[in-house]
Structure 1
Amino acid sequence: MKIIPVIDLKDGVVVHARQGKRDQYQPINTRLCSTSDIDSVIEAFLNLHDFSTFYIADLNAITHQGNHEQLIDEVLARFPELTFWVDSGYQSGSQQRGRPGNYMPVLGSESFHEETIGEIEAFDNNFILSLDYSSSSALGAKSLFSTPDLWPDHIIIMTLARVGSHSGPDLDKLAGFCRQHPDKNFIAAGGIRNKQDLADLSEIGVKQALVASALHSGHLSADDIKNLQAKKYPDESGYF
């Protein structure tokens, strides 16, 4: 099981995401890291474990209220040994030219409409797809959920209503995807509380998980992470 720490950026700082209620997100102040500065948060994660991949959600870009493109590029330059999966809302293939080698775009379904799906082909499978749900409802372009031909090899199943909720991952939904599409690598996101949740995900075939709250709270210890990551998982670029 590979754990990928999550960093949610809003108005220049790292915030604590809770159930997709983005207007209520507050700056991070936890037992893991008492400052919301992104470099400090990354260093705090690295002090806990030698993570190789991080996920960044640019909430301003996703909600069309500016973006953190410059800040993210500075972070990528400061941590060249790390790979960053970045969801910055709607992105076109042309926007990826000249991006650093440790940048991997995340295309979230909530940021795409039926008329913009064609842009996905320009990425030539060099991206991570995020299929976004509020709870049970699919967000964004509906055909993205029903057309596997549009999918890359690596797909996040993001249940926003469970993010920061301590309610556990949506095992039924994830198990369904794993059964129906055994050739794809599905990545869990939302609600992961502890090592048991990650063990349960592993049992249904999920090999990667996006995690934030459990790391900040200490419910996932350094020993837990070391033991979980000892099992086979895709490398930092998303490939086995």
Structure 2
Amino acid sequence: MKIIPVIDLKDGVVVHARQGNREGYQPINTYLCKSSGIFQVIDAFLSIYQFDTFYIADLNAITNQGNHDYLIAEVLTRFPRIMFWIDKGYRKYDEIKQLPENTLPVLGSESYKDETISEIKAYKNNFILSLDYSNSGALGAKNLFSDPTFWPKNVIIMTLGRVGCNNGPDFDKLKEFCRQYPGKSFIAAGGIRNKQDLMALSKAGIHQALVASALHSGAVKAEDIAEVSTS
């Protein structure tokens, strides 16, 4: 099981994501890190474990309210040996041709419509797909959820209604994806509470997980990560 820390950026700071209610997200202030600055948050995560991959969601870009391009570029330069998966919402392939080597675009279904998903083919599988769900169902381009020819090897199953809560992952949904598409590598996102959840996900066939709250609260500790990383 590989743990990938999550950083949600909004208005220049790292915020605590909760149930997809982005208007209400507040700056991070936790057991792990009192600062909401992105460099301090990354350093705090690295003080727990030498993670080699991070996920950054630029919430301003996703919601078409500006972006954090300058700040993210500085992050990529300062941490050249870490791979950053970056979700900036809808992006045409021409916009990301010259990305630094230590970044990979995340394309979220919520940012695409059925009439625009054909543009995803231009990426030639060099991206991470995020299939996004709210409490009411799938978000964005419906055809993305039913047509795996658009999918790269790695696919995030993002359950926004469970993000930042203590309700556990959506095991049923994750197990169903693993059952239907055994050739893909699915990544759990939303609701992970502790080592037991991570072990259960691994047993279900999920070998990567996006985690934020459980790291910030100390519910997932360094020894837990070391243990699940071998499972």
Q: Deviations over 1:65-111 (max 9, x none)?
A: 00111111110011000000000000111111221000100000000
% of aligned pairs identical? 66
- Partner of 1:238 in structure 2? none
Alignment of 1:27-106 (within 5 A): 27-106=27-106
One-letter code aligned to 2:151: W
1:199 is paired with a residue whose SS is helix
- Whole-Å separation in 2 of the counterparts to 1:84 and 1:156: 15
TM-score between the two structures when normalised by the length of structure 2: 0.99
Q: What is the CA–CA distance in structure 1 between the aligned matches of 2:157 and 2:73, rounded to whole Å?
A: 26
- What is the identity, as a one-letter code, of the residue corresponding to 2:107? L
Match of 1:203 in 2: 203
State the distance in 2 between where 1:103 and 1:119 align. 20
Structure 2 letter corresponding to 1:119: E
Counterpart CA distance in 2 for 1:140 and 1:195 is: 32
Q: Distance in 2 between matches of 1:70 and 1:98?
A: 15
Question: Which residue matches 1:173?
Answer: 173
Question: What is the aligned partner in structure 1 of residue 5 from structure 2?
Answer: 5
Unmatched tracts of structure 2, length 5 or more: none
Match of 1:86, SS state, is strand
What is the CA distance between 1:136 and its match in structure 2?
Answer: 4.9
Paired with 1:50 and 1:170, the residues of 2 have a C-alpha distance of 27
Question: 1:120 & 1:97 partners in 2: Cα distance?
Answer: 13
Amino acid at match of 1:80: P
2-side partners of 1:14 and 1:77: how far apart?
18
CA distance in 2, matches of 1:37, 1:89: 22
Q: Which residue of 1 aligns with 2:143?
A: 143
User: What value does the CA root-mean-square deviation take over the aligned residues?
Assistant: 0.6
2:129 is matched with 129
Question: Residue in 2 aligned with 1:108?
Answer: 108
Letter in 1 for 2:116: T
Partner residue in 1 for 2:184: 184
**CA distance in structure 2 between the aligned counterparts of 1:74 and 1:121, rounded to whole angstroms:** 29
Change in 2 beyond 3 A, CA 1:201/1:136: farther
Q: Hey, what's the Cα distance between the residues in 2 that align with 1:196 and 1:88? A: 31
Distance 1:96 1:139 in 2: 23
Could you tell me which amino acid in structure 2 is paired with residue 66 of structure 1?
G
For residue 2 of structure 2, what is the amino acid of its counterpart? K
Runs of 4+ in 1 over 6 A off after TM superposition: none
SS of equivalent to 1:115: coil
CA distance in 2, matches of 1:151, 1:171: 21
Other-structure match for 1:236: none
